[in-house]
């Protein structure tokens, strides 16, 4: 008999992804629900964090970057978005944005391939990219136009075919190149680049993308943690970033 979708998702997240060290510890919460059922589903592993919600008897549970909800007796788990109808806020998506923003910040720009404007950047966008993805290549062919709009573009590697694939090996070669910006530009043009290996963050970045819910490339993470899947042309992206900045302040 197949596991329910929720349990399968829990098991995948828990087995593939490391806990976020910046998340609050479950032991620090004033009151905890019964975790026996969910820990059984996790094969004995504990969730990354548990905290009470505004709804009495309902707890937020963080598992591998995913947000779930658990009843106080630990019997019922909910997978979906929690909405505050008085403020029209999507509390779950706000939490996901916060987690994504912290996770990207923890990576550090020194572990990314960065294309920045000549002057001060108006916006910073972190892009999970695949060397062989058609729309990733189209996006990179316009990198100067993104920079002209004042957008700093920071690449994290997400070879969609997984660890050990040809795209994965190309991403490693880019990272190990003497000039990563030149190497990724050539690779995205379809040109051959020297195959190299070295200590690299490609697998860690791929796993981070999975943890944050990346399912395709390009996937962009804005400064406030908002995720935008797919290709957006330079001018439209600048307009979207301006609207987003006005509508939703960046996370502290």
Contact 26, 46 (CB under 8 A): yes
b/e per residue 24-47 (b: at least 16 CB within 10 A): eebeeeeebbebebbeebbeebbb
What is the Rg, in whole angstroms, of the alpha carbon atoms belonging to the chain?
20
Domain assignments of the chain as residue spans, ordered by start: 5-88, 106-247
**From CA 228, how far away is CA 225, in angstroms rounded?**
10
CATH fold of 5-88 reads Nuclear Transport Factor 2; Chain: A, (3.10.450)
* Model confidence pTM above 0.85: no
**From CA 113, how far away is CA 185, in angstroms rounded?**
11
Q: What is the CATH architecture assignment of 106-247?
A: 3-Layer(aba) Sandwich (3.40)
Per-residue pLDDT of the chain (252 residues), as tens digits, is 333 444 444 433 333 333 343 444 434 444 667 777 676 766 666 778 888 888 888 888 887 778 888 888 888 888 888 898 988 888 888 888 888 999 999 999 999 999 999 999 999 999 999 999 999 999 999 999 999 999 999 999 999 999 999 999 999 999 999 999 999 999 999 999 999 999 999 999 999 999 998 999 999 999 999 999 999 999 999 999 999 887 755 444
């Amino acid at each position: 008999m197949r596991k329910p979708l929720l349990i399968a998702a829990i098991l995948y997240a828990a087995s593939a992804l490391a806990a976020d060290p910046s998340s609050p510890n479950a032991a620090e919460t004033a009151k905890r629900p019964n975790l026996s059922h969910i820990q059984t589903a996790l094969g004995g592993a504990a969730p990354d964090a548990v905290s009470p919600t505004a709804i009495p008897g309902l707890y937020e549970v963080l598992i591998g970057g995913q947000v779930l909800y658990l009843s106080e007796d630990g019997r019922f788990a909910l997978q979906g978005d929690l909405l505050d109808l008085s403020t029209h806020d999507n509390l779950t998506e706000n939490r996901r944005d916060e987690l994504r923003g912290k996770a990207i910040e923890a990576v550090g720009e020194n572990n990314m391939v960065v294309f920045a404007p000549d002057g001060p950047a108006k916006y910073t966008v972190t892009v999970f990219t695949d060397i062989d993805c058609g729309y990733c290549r189209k996006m990179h062919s316009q990198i100067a136009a993104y920079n002209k709009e004042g957008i700093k573009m920071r690449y994290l590697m997400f070879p969609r075919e997984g660890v050990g694939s040809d795209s994965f090996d190309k991403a490693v070669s880019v990272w190990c190149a003497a000039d990563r910006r030149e190497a990724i530009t050539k690779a995205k043009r379809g040109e051959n680049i020297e195959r190299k290996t070295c200590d690299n963050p490609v697998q860690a970045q791929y796993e981070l993308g999975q943890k944050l819910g990346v399912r395709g490339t390009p996937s962009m993470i804005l400064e406030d943690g908002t995720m935008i899947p797919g290709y957006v042309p330079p001018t439209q992206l600048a307009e979207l970033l301006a609207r987003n900045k006005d509508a939703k302040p960046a996370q502290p």
